[in-house]
Copies of this chain bind each other. A is one copy, B any other.
Amino acid sequence: MSLAVTRGNTGAGARRPGRQVIIDAAVRCFYEHGYDGSSVRDITQEAGVTAAALYHYYTSKQDLLMEIITRFMANSIERTEEALRRAGPDPVARLFAAAQSHVLWNASDVASSFIVNSEIRSLDDANRERHIAQRDTLQRMFDECVQDGCDQGVFAAPWPREASRAVVVMCTFVARWYRPSGPLSPDEIAWRYGHMALSLVGASRGPQFEAPTYGGV
């Protein structure tokens, strides 16, 4: 089944050119015209493939949307896990790293990020349920991180859950305004958002990391 996408987009076939060409075309169509505004014909034309080629990999347009959303979310989760793992046990370092990573991932693919955050309405019930489970998994990693910091007295967020959600939202929606032609590199933006996330949760100290090479504050 084409929906069996593993975390980090490493599933068998996920990188086969034919399949990726179709996914890329679907992302462009959904990003520009929305799910209901894009037909299978629009997607095959954009991809330069036949309908038969598309149906070789995907059973439906719904199937394509779900793969785009599932891949993106699986990547979000995997990258956040990796950032937390590398950061070690300190809640300050963990939240800083998770926020940075989340900004970088969303800025790296603004089109898919947009689709994930605007086309949940277009998922059928079973797919929406799967998506919500992924979204909850991601949010829970941030929630635990903020709660740990509060429990250890290094964060002073009166409402840890709301603060954690606000952090995820502000990092996710960097994709709405970030453009490569802007004045700041993704690394610089991510570094600043890491600090702003700490500020939002009332961190009592900074992440004790070096500024990126652009020169710092």
Q: Which residues of A contact B (CB under 8 A)?
A: 31-38, 114, 117-118, 121, 157-159, 162-163, 165-166, 169-170, 173, 176-177, 189, 192-193, 195-196, 199-202, 217
Copies of this chain, how many?
2
* Most B Cβ at <10 Å: residue of A37, A157, A201: A37
Report if A196-B200 is in contact (Cβ < 8 Å); known contacts: A36-B34, A170-B170: yes
Our pick among B121, B159, B176 for the contact of A117 (Cβ within 8 Å) is B176
Min CB distance, A131 to chain B, in Å? 14
Question: Knowing that A34-B34, A36-B37 are A-B contacts, what are 4 other residue pairs whose CB atoms are under 8 Å apart, sorted by A's residue number?
Answer: A158-B217, A159-B196, A169-B176, A199-B200
Our pick among B35, B157, B199 for the contact of A37 (Cβ within 8 Å) is B35
